[in-house]
Structure formats: C-alpha cells, structure tokens
Structure 1
Amino acid sequence: MFTTQEIASFNELETSVYQYITTNMEKVAYMRIRELAEATHVSTTTILRFCRKVNCQGFSELKVRLKLHLDNEKPTVVKGSQHAVSEFFERTLAGNLDNKLGEAVDIVNGADHVMFIGIGSSGILAEYGARYFSSLGTFSVYIKDPHFPIHSSILQNSVTIALSVSGENRYTTTHIHQLKEKGSTVISITNTKYSTIARISDVNIPYYVTEEALEGSNITTQIPVVYILETLARDIHRKKER
C-alpha cells in the first residue's frame, strides 16, 4: 500500500496517521477527513499533506486506493486437489497428450545425455524427474546453475527437459537459450502451449490447469507434472527393453 520511500518521508505527525491507517484500513476507507483528523489528533492540513506524500491528490483518492487494496487482499479460496486432478484429466488427457509423450519418448531414447532444468517448485520437480528417470535406467542430471560448465560435445546429442508452470520464467528461458545454442534438444512441460518457453522448445507438453496464487505464492497444482514425468520415464524404460 505504501512504499518504503514514502514511509521514510513522513514526519512525526504523518507517521501517526500512517500507523492509524495501516491498523484501521477498513474503517478509514469510509471515514470523512475530519473524522480521521480527530482520530489521529492532527489537523486536516496534515492529512492532506500525508495524501500528497503518498501520491494522492486528496483524501478521496486515498480512500479509493484503500478500498482497492482491501479488495485485492480478500482471502483466496483454495480449491481441493481433486478439482485440479479432474480438470487435468478433462482438459489434457482427452486431447493429444499421448502423441506429445510419444514424441518426447523418441527424442529421449535417441539422446546420449538427459538434463533437467527449472526453478522454484519446478526446480524441485526437475530434480525429482532426474532421479526418477535414472531409477528407470535413463541416467539424468538436474542442473540448477545456468553457468555450470558443460562441454559443447556433450550437448550435441543431448535432451533438456525444462519445467515451468507459467512458461515465462526469465531464468529458465535464458538457460534454455544457452543449451539450445550448444545443440541440446529441448522438451518443455508447461501449463500452456502459448508461453514463451513452450514456443522456443522443440517439443512442448502442456497440461492446462487453472493457475492459483495465495499471498503472492504460486500454488498451482503440480500433480499433472508428476504424472507426465513418471509416464515419460516408464514409457522410455519399456521402449528400451523391447
């Protein structure tokens, strides 16, 4: 609601106004300027000066900002995991997922090296994917650091499996560019095929579930990603045994 620079600019009286507002936002949003002045024991002039310091033309604009802030702070209703699973089955498994998986299996089977990349929760699953693939006979590694030294000859016949929910993570996008430039084929697993990472990949496997956020954290289910990773690993293993 208020920036660090704005808070640092307050004098003693304005600081008392700030403290009152932050602890009584819902009340202040419907107050008149004189009511706030009385509650904080300052003049209306101080209130108006406070408004200007937080880039509001007047008290009315400040109240509008407070109301918008309160609307955005309303608690998110977290859906049950069964909703996400059913959504994945309805939207994705009814489509051409098998064709995408088959294409990815063929690429991995023809590669000499398999690497997983991702950041955040996608990074955790990338590490899991590398371990799961290795457990089923396809030795794989998770590379977290984009500056990790990899000889170009290793990347000539390699596959990179990139994980990203949004498909827009700059860190992962940069990592993909670096690996593609050195000859690695990229398979991405993202929530939509229209993202940047999906478009720059050689093969994209989208899973289409509604993205969810809670207090700034992305809590979109990763159940479809686990399903895709395990299905890939098992299909690759079966194909190698034929």
Structure 2
Amino acid sequence: MDFFEVVNPHVPELTKNEHLLFDYVVKNLNAIKNKSIREISDDCFVSTTTFLRFVRKIGFSGYSEFTTVIKYTLLNQTIQEKASPFVVSQKDYREEYLKNINESVRVIDTQKLITVAEYLKSKPIIYLFAKGMNKQLMNYAKYLFVAAGFLVVFPDDHPTRKVVQKQITSKDIVFVLTYQGKDEEWIHLMQYLKNKIQPLVVSLTGADNNVVQNMSDINFYVFTDELFLNKMEITSHISIIAILELILYQYLESADDGEYHLVFR
C-alpha cells in the first residue's frame, strides 16, 4: 500500500484542524515512521485520542498500520529513485502525471488561499524568487499578477537578488519557488526576512519535509516525479502553475465588484 493512495480519498473530508495534522504528517514522514503515537501527538500538540481518530479518518485501522504504510512508502520511493526515470510505460506515466496534478490541487488548504488573497487586497509589492527552470514559472507568475494591477519585482540573478532583498518591507509579500527547499541562498534569504523585515513569505515546494517549507509563513506543496534528461531537469511543474493561478483566482473572487473586468469565453 502507498500512503498517498490510502489517504487521498479522505482528504476532502478533513476539518481545518485535521488539515493541519495532515500537513504536518506529509512534511515529516521520515521522522514520524519511528515515533510512537504519544511522541507524534506531543509534536502536534494534540491528545493521543485525537491523533488516533485522525489516523482512522484518513483510512488506517490504527497507528501501527499508519506507520507501517509510511515505512513502506518511503522504502518504495528510495527504490524508485535508484531506477531509471522512465521504467514505466508511457501510458502509466501519463496516469501518474495526472494523479500528481490531482493530488497537488486536492490537498491545498483553502484557508491558505484565502489568507494570501486577503493579504493581496492591501496591494503589496510582490517579490518573486526562483532559480533555473523555476524562473520560467515565475515569469508567468509575474505576467499574471501584473495583469491584475500589482507591482511585481523579479530579480533573475544573484547580485540583483542581494540588492532587491534590501528593498523589501514588512507590508510586502514574497514568493519563493524551490522544489527541493534546501538551497542555501533561499535559506539565508528567509532567515534575513524573518529576523529583520517580516513580510508575508509564501513558499512553493515539493511535498517532502524541507527547510524552506518550515521557515515559510505559508507553504503550498506539490507532488511530482523528478525527471532528468542528459543531466538537465525536465520535471513537470504544471502543479506549481495551478497553485499560482488558484492564488490569483482566489484574490479576484474576493475583490470588490467592478474592480476587475473579467471576460469568460
């Protein structure tokens, strides 16, 4: 059994507080696999009864099955990482591709979208940070938010990023896009922002627990299969695009009547 295959049908049924537990579990699978229910309950600041009820609600008979499936899922991921990225047939890969998109959108916490949308109502300056292939996605994000009337700053090289980060104020919003979430530059950036400026920091990362994810005010995570061709990354980023669009659409939905002229065709 795969952890995500078990829990996905139950995610839409979770309450707000259960979504917080689910987010914690997804981000800390590797640590949770060897912890007792009392330890994990203490980490989440809930009772063992509450956590056991949550475990059963997401499809497991008990805590033992919950940790066993997590261990199996992590072990299976490790084995898959050692294999060729195209060990599955094209048809199977298409199915995984669609499943990843569906999972990424399904697990989004609606309250997070609302929080970002409400923050955008104050018309903050939007700062975008990304490297490599992710820069293409941030260019698209810049296009979206400029179209909605925002001032967007997207420094695309390291020297410019060092200058720009000094211009960020506490009223602004910062988006950091990094799948791995372990880049030293982003960690230093977020330490600086958290300690000195305190804008709203929104990260978009992979689902695995990572430093950037944990340092963010709000994190949106995606599921995807990392792919490389001739040592160049060609991992699908379509789920990230979906999240960026949903953030903007949530903002437009909550905007005052007549503020935007939307045409649906």
Global fold match (TM > 0.5): yes
Residue 171 (structure 1) aligned to one of 185, 188, 192: 185
Q: Deviations over 1:189-229 (max 9, x none)?
A: 11126111110000000112232333433322100111111
Residue number in structure 1 paired with 2:96: 83
Q: Deviations over 1:88-112 (max 9, x none)?
A: 20x2333244333222222333452
Contact 2:180–2:206 under 8 Å retained in 1: yes
The structure with the largest alpha-carbon Rg is 1
Residue 208 (structure 1) aligned to one of 223, 226, 232: 223
Residue 173 (structure 2) aligned to one of 132, 143, 159: 159
Contact 1:190–1:207 under 8 Å retained in 2: yes
Contact 1:213–1:219 under 8 Å retained in 2: yes
Indicate how the Cα distance of structure 1 residues 121 and 231 shifts in structure 2: closer, same or farther if over 3 A, else same: same
Query: 4+ runs of 1 displaced by more than 6 Å?
Result: none
Q: Does 1:117 align with 2:129?
A: yes
How far apart are the structure 1 equivalents of 2:108 and 2:84?
36
> Which sections of structure 1, spanning at least 5 residues, go unmatched?
1-71
Contact 1:159–1:184 under 8 Å retained in 2: yes
Q: Does 1:95 align with 2:112?
A: no
Report the Cα offset of residue 235 of structure 1.
Answer: 1.9
How far apart are the structure 2 equivalents of 1:227 and 1:240?
20
Indicate how the Cα distance of structure 1 residues 156 and 100 shifts in structure 2: closer, same or farther if over 3 A, else same: closer
- Structure 1 counterpart SS, 2:131: coil
How far apart are the structure 2 equivalents of 1:73 and 1:228?
29
Report the Cα offset of residue 157 of structure 1.
Answer: 0.6
Equivalent residues, number:
169
Q: Deviations over 1:152-211 (max 9, x none)?
A: 5x5121110111111112222223333333232200011126111110000000112232
Indicate the RMSD between aligned Cα atoms, in angstroms: 2.7
Indicate how the Cα distance of structure 1 residues 233 and 179 shifts in structure 2: closer, same or farther if over 3 A, else same: same
How far apart are the structure 1 equivalents of 2:164 and 2:221?
30
How far apart are the structure 1 equivalents of 2:94 and 2:107?
21
TM-score of the aligned structures, taking structure 2 as reference length = 0.56
Contact 2:205–2:222 under 8 Å retained in 1: yes
Q: Does 1:127 align with 2:153?
A: no
Indicate how the Cα distance of structure 1 residues 173 and 108 shifts in structure 2: closer, same or farther if over 3 A, else same: farther
